[in-house]
Chains A and B, each alone.
Chain A
Amino acid sequence: MSATQDASAQIPVTVLTGYLGAGKTTLLNRILTENHGQRYAVIVNEFGEVGIDNDLLVESDEEIFEMNNGCICCTVRGDLIRTVQNLMKRKNAFDAIIVETTGIADPAPVAQTFFMDDDVRAAARLDAVVAVVDARHVLQRLEDTEEAEDQVAFADVILINKTDLVSSEELANVEARIQSINPYAVLHRSERCGVEIAKVLDRGAFDLDRILSLDPHFLAHGHHSDECGPNCDHDHHSDECGSNCDHDHQHHHGHDHAHGRHHHGDTHSVKSISLKAGDLNPDMFFPWINQVTQVQGPNILRMKGILAFKDDPQRYVIQGVHMIVEGDHQRDWKESEPRESRLVFIGRDLNWDVLRDSFAACAAQ
């Protein structure tokens, strides 16, 4: 666990994701044509019809590098590393970077690049993953594809677009489904991506200092920890590890590469788990979180938390992608705030009961 870098020296990066046809390019065009006074460097997969005069436009090809240990979840995007390095040679030419991913891309290697590559980490910080979803088709996409589910799971901000094409009842269903996958993403509704740019850019959602201020619902989502909504079937969490689940990935490096993808067709495989406790014992918690991320890393899409450690006046903020965990002290607990530790996991095949019990065991005595 390392300290965060000096944020002021790092260029903010917004990752724009969303399934084919959801409206990413429309949003990108809006961002680039709006009079916001910011200069963007835009990394796209192919030069499309985006007409940009004042912004730097770079083509990239989503080249994934696996780390040498062969671990499928320790991947970074090589093209992104190179592009960011090249952009740093002109760092006075722009204020922020937008990375547009292809509609079917896995957002994990993008997010991980900003944690795992030292050069990128020093130069840039992930501001937020923004997912655009098509209100009319997203439920079907979530049934069909793991990628659409991953995009929702990874997102900090979700733009539910094309709301004019669905009824209010359908829209409510879409929102409920999205929230069941990712309870802490901030949702916005839009037609033709008509959203205030400030709601999408410069969110600081990956910024440890700002996780809470931007996720006002984060603490309020208490019901996820011990109660469930109408669509939730808790038995799933433990029963899912049945005959077809090979939970023997204790060997976190060099495991079966097919593992993360063997649930194709399992339409409800991503779930979120929210854990709650009071003061924690850091000597128990850190070994635990390290162990959880080592063993369950391939299944953990995102993890975020705000923690109270015994005898520590400061809040500790933690977040992770797969096996990468990052944490730091944030600020003093206010007197008005209850000293409460909360941790959210979004992942596939996570064993809810084991996580809850082992987290509870980290409570300070």
Chain B
Amino acid sequence: MRTISKKLNKEEIEAFGKEVDSLREEVMAKVGKEDADHIRFIYKTYRYTEVLGRGLIHFSFEPISFIAGTLLLSISKIINNMELGHNVLHGQYDWMNDPRFNSRTFEWDIVCNAHQWKFYHNYMHHTYTNVLNKDHDYGYNFTRLTEAQKWKPVHLTQPFTNMFLAMNFQWGIGAHGYRVEYLETPKKLRKKKTLKDYKALFFKKIELQLLKDYILFPALAGLNFPKVILGNMLANLIRNLWTYAVIFCGHFTENAESFTTDEIVGETKAQWYLRQLKGSSNLDGNNLFYTMTGHLSHQIEHHMFPDMPAKRYREVAPRLKEICAKYGQHYNTGSFVKQFASVWKRIIAYSFPDHIATKVMGKRKKYLEPTVVLNQPSFQVSLSTEEKAVTLT
């Protein structure tokens, strides 16, 4: 694929990797109480918004409180999935030794089973980011996003299938999970039974979610049950649309690159960093927006440091950007609207055969010239002396 970043030689790549590594070390050394407090605050917000949301839906007799309740429930589900679930399942808070925030014990409010998700996301997607045929998240098996994927007439429908996926995103995520696990089982070991076993976990989770949202809570409302069903449906829909939008902006924007399996043989850590950078794209916004995306607004930082407590990406980003500029590497970022529009441009463009697709996508910018940057720390975080004094044994 064409790249708009400067081609680096071996030494440059390794030097780049070293700088990224030391950035990581520096920030990880600061992880502590501040991060624990943050995730507890998020947990609290998730619990309160859910109770308030469900309460309002339940006791609403006019549309305003019903809408408020539905929105609160959507927010709760978004927080549960993004800033809490996604990050906890990455093991970002395992060090706290708190079962509520431990990747081994956490389960989230979505039809996707957490264990399956950890396999295809933490392992497959984060290791083989944007590698065609290996990263199953790349286009989710039906979206064509690059010339490297062969065009078939069925791709003409992808704008519609994507709209459908957006509305039912959690189901896509869930069904994706067991299939990836199946596909990644060595062919010899793939039997009907394994598929069924993998599927069973998904189905179990479906049952739970359906029971909770569409039977248990509606039943509590007695004859008012249709209202509760509607509220839950809308909340799930809003959460689905939001997560779809955020997640698709992560890797499928115009300038996000894809790779082939040949390119990654014998890849070093530094090369891996570089691939994460080129394959991901960020979203600009304010702190509230960052939190609501689970800091996937900082997709690049997240892909380089998936196990770093997500809020830290905010302080990492400007420094990483400096490093990228120094090495002439394109740092893909933009407003949500701009990035999301470019995702859709790409989805539509590649639904057509190559000659049309390339025309729509247009010419790419030239290589970026490396800029000289002063090595000044762009941020400073101070810990209280007490915290510094405590070393973990």
Tell me if chain B binds chain A.
no
Chain B residues with a Cβ under 8 A of chain A: none
Chain A residues with a Cβ under 8 A of chain B: none
